[in-house]
Structure 1
Amino acid sequence: MRHIKKMIGSLLFLAISISSCNSQPSQIQTPTDTLPIHIQRFDKALLQFIETQDTALEQELLKEYPAMLEITGKGILNLQSPAVPGFFDQLVTYYSEPTLKNLYEDAVHEYQDVSDIESQLGKGFAFLKANFPDMQVPACYMHVSGFNQNVLAADSLLSLSIDKYMGETYPLYQDFFYDYQRIKMQRPLVAADYLAGWLMSEYPFEGNENVLLDRMIYEGIIKYIVHLALPEITPAQLMGYKEKDYAWCTANELTLWNTIIQRKHLYTPDQLTTSKYLDDKPCTFLSDETPGNIGTWIGWQIVSSYMKENNVSLQTLMQQQNAQELLSQAKYKP
């Protein structure tokens, strides 16, 4: 019986995937061209300065990367403007800590060549631009945060911390992260996190962060759009799940939804309860087999149902601020 259940779950997952591909709303634009994306290597330039402490490089950094210095200082080091005396000294002190320095060097080595990521971003941002014509394509950078601020975004600027994508077997990760966290810390997810970070920057969450429905719909919209932009990334990868966990969710979708409704968690404005559904930690409060971030996964299913029922553009979807209205129009029936 267990074998049959697993097989049914896998077949159901396949059927849903095929159905989703075949029923894409006609208002979604699929571009034929890509955009030329070049990732600017702030991470390399800063490492050179950290290693040499050549004061001449300070001026080069200020000239080439003024915005990155600004948001790195504020977002990672709680420092003010680079113009403040002692800014670069504190920068050197922070990144010279031995463990962080080794991590920094490993990250730059691992990401010496990023042409594959630039190619993915070229396709991904071309998709976003086709569906959000007024959206500005950001200048893309890389930085190292020391497991701190993963995404840095400002006007027309987006940077990702590459030390968070060293692969789930990277030795240092064993001391700092759980298995369910490390599965997301892999190179195939770099481009996806760039796109998600920019969408969240351009369309920040405006609902009630303590209400599960509001959060799950917003997160589900982001996953839905990123998956369309980068279809080569499997839904399981995008969720940070193993394939067997994704198949389990598909096979138990109705039970999961009914449990949320029966426990009256969907609308209860309780931050602690809501966070349990969106945390990477396995949702064992629902069942021993429920993976983490199940709220986002269900939100993605609701959004997919909404887009099948309503032939709207992605811009209209992204601007939908009423989660209850979206749920009603989705006619969601797991």
Structure 2
Amino acid sequence: MKKLVFLIVLFVIGCAEENPLEKEISAIPLDVNVVRFDQVFLGAKPSDLPKLKETYPLFFPASIPDSTWIYTMNDPLQKELKTEINTVFSDFAPVQRDIKSVLQHLEYYFPEYDTPKVFTVTTEDYRKKVILYQDMILIALNTYLGKNHKFYDGIQKYISQSFEKEMIPVDIANEFAYTQVKPPRERTFLSKMIYHGKVQYLKSLLVPKASLAMQFGYTDEKIAWAEANEKQIWTYFIEKELLYSTDNKLDNRFLNVAPFSKFNLELDSESPGGIGRFIGYQIVKSYMENNDVSLQNLLGKSSKEIFTNSKYKPKK
């Protein structure tokens, strides 16, 4: 009897903790059909090329001769690539659920955005993991084989650490967010931080189940460092009079993807790259917590208005 009571208590607690908004979003009816073009192409023979070009004209631009595609099909590396992708994505159902989830969030926050078609592909450029093109999302599965995969030898660890299949919805959200957030008119460091902060805040809404580390492309250790040193980082920016600086060198030091941020201090190697994005996110998050503003209104607000009304106070 005691065991039954205990189970009931757990059930009640679980229901109480369930986010009503997320429950509503997960119930949005959405038919997501993922076309596994990677499997189609990697399993094709040169004799299949005419049919492939007819069925998938987008992937076969006229500027590329058939000889290039035939050479690729005959390349032994393609067979190895197919094997590795099939091993990592032997069960594609969880990935498809993750993709559906981020698209349901897009439907909720941007109902005017038509549900895109989703294609899985391969790419030779690891920087193009996800591409939004017209009404399509292209996902390069060969960039999600696991951070320690042999294919990524030679790629710096701060980049390959995000080559995990769990990052697919985060990368979709990232690409979409940058299409919705307009670059700032001002060239100040603060404006750029808040610009990236808007992107990160939007990502947090589109993939709420992803950890903060995943949303920033950090390791758990790096996000812990950022949270523990938030006040010191903010103090540094103020004391060095960086907030209203228009020095473009600050982009590489504190905003761009990098192995670490560059304070020119001994602790640099401990910090995550692009720490300014983290601070920008905290400012935007504080603004939304302290003002009754919709997401769409936020996206149109100036960095000056956001900063002035954010009441941002970094954690100690």
Partner secondary structure for residue 298 of structure 1: helix
Relative to structure 1, is the Cα distance of residues 328 and 138 closer, same or farther in structure 2, using a 3 angstrom cutoff?
Answer: same
Distance across 2 between alignment mates of 1:100 and 1:147: 15
Question: What is the aligned partner in structure 2 of residue 141 from structure 1?
Answer: 119
1:171 is the counterpart of 2:150: yes
1:324 is the counterpart of 2:315: no
Residue 101 of structure 1, CA deviation: 6.1
Unaligned runs of 5+ in 2: 1-16
* Contact residue 81 and residue 142 of structure 2 kept, 8 A: yes
Question: What is the aligned partner in structure 2 of residue 275 from structure 1?
Answer: 252
Relative to structure 1, is the Cα distance of residues 89 and 131 closer, same or farther in structure 2, using a 3 angstrom cutoff?
Answer: same
Question: What is the aligned partner in structure 1 of residue 294 from structure 2?
Answer: 313
1:254 is the counterpart of 2:245: no
Higher RCO, Cα 8 Å, sep 6+: 1
Partner secondary structure for residue 245 of structure 1: helix
Relative to structure 1, is the Cα distance of residues 101 and 298 closer, same or farther in structure 2, using a 3 angstrom cutoff?
Answer: farther
Question: What is the aligned partner in structure 2 of residue 198 from structure 1?
Answer: 176
Superposed CA deviations along residues 94-148 of structure 1, whole A, max 9, x for unmatched, are 6766557634542344224321122122222212211222122211111111234
Distance across 1 between alignment mates of 2:207 and 2:186: 27
Distance across 2 between alignment mates of 1:89 and 1:310: 59
Q: Which amino acid aligns with 1:256?
A: I
Distance across 2 between alignment mates of 1:94 and 1:220: 41
* Contact residue 104 and residue 144 of structure 1 kept, 8 A: no
Distance across 2 between alignment mates of 1:143 and 1:45: 9
Q: Which amino acid aligns with 2:307?
A: L
Q: Which amino acid aligns with 1:319?
A: G
Residue 44 of structure 1, CA deviation: 1.5
Equivalent of 1:301, from 278, 282, 292? 282
Question: What is the aligned partner in structure 1 of residue 4 from structure 2?
Answer: none
Distance across 2 between alignment mates of 1:147 and 1:129: 29
1:87 is the counterpart of 2:65: yes
**4+ residue runs over 6 A deviation:** 26-29
Question: What is the aligned partner in structure 1 of residue 46 from structure 2?
Answer: 53
Q: Which amino acid aligns with 1:188?
A: E
* Contact residue 33 and residue 123 of structure 1 kept, 8 A: no
1:40 is the counterpart of 2:35: yes
Residue 331 of structure 1, CA deviation: 1.9
Question: What is the aligned partner in structure 1 of residue 104 from structure 2?
Answer: 126
Relative to structure 1, is the Cα distance of residues 299 and 306 closer, same or farther in structure 2, using a 3 angstrom cutoff?
Answer: same
Aligned length: 291
1:115 is the counterpart of 2:108: no
Residue 193 of structure 1, CA deviation: 0.7
Partner secondary structure for residue 131 of structure 2: strand
Residue 224 of structure 1, CA deviation: 1.9
Residue 167 of structure 1, CA deviation: 0.9
Aligned-pair RMSD on alpha carbons? 2.9
Question: What is the aligned partner in structure 2 of residue 64 from structure 1?
Answer: 55
Relative to structure 1, is the Cα distance of residues 121 and 47 closer, same or farther in structure 2, using a 3 angstrom cutoff?
Answer: same
Distance across 2 between alignment mates of 1:216 and 1:156: 30
1:153 is the counterpart of 2:147: no
Unaligned runs of 5+ in 1: 1-21, 71-81
Distance across 1 between alignment mates of 2:299 and 2:27: 23
Q: Based on CA coordinates, which of the two structures has the bigger radius of gyration?
A: 2
Relative to structure 1, is the Cα distance of residues 263 and 130 closer, same or farther in structure 2, using a 3 angstrom cutoff?
Answer: same
Distance across 2 between alignment mates of 1:276 and 1:209: 19
Residue 164 of structure 1, CA deviation: 1.5
Moved more, 97-106 or 304-313: 97-106
Partner secondary structure for residue 176 of structure 1: coil
* Contact residue 27 and residue 312 of structure 1 kept, 8 A: no
Distance across 1 between alignment mates of 2:207 and 2:213: 13
Q: When the two structures are superposed, what TM-score results if normalisation uses the length of structure 2?
A: 0.80
Q: Which amino acid aligns with 2:39?
A: K
Equivalent of 2:162, from 166, 184, 188? 184
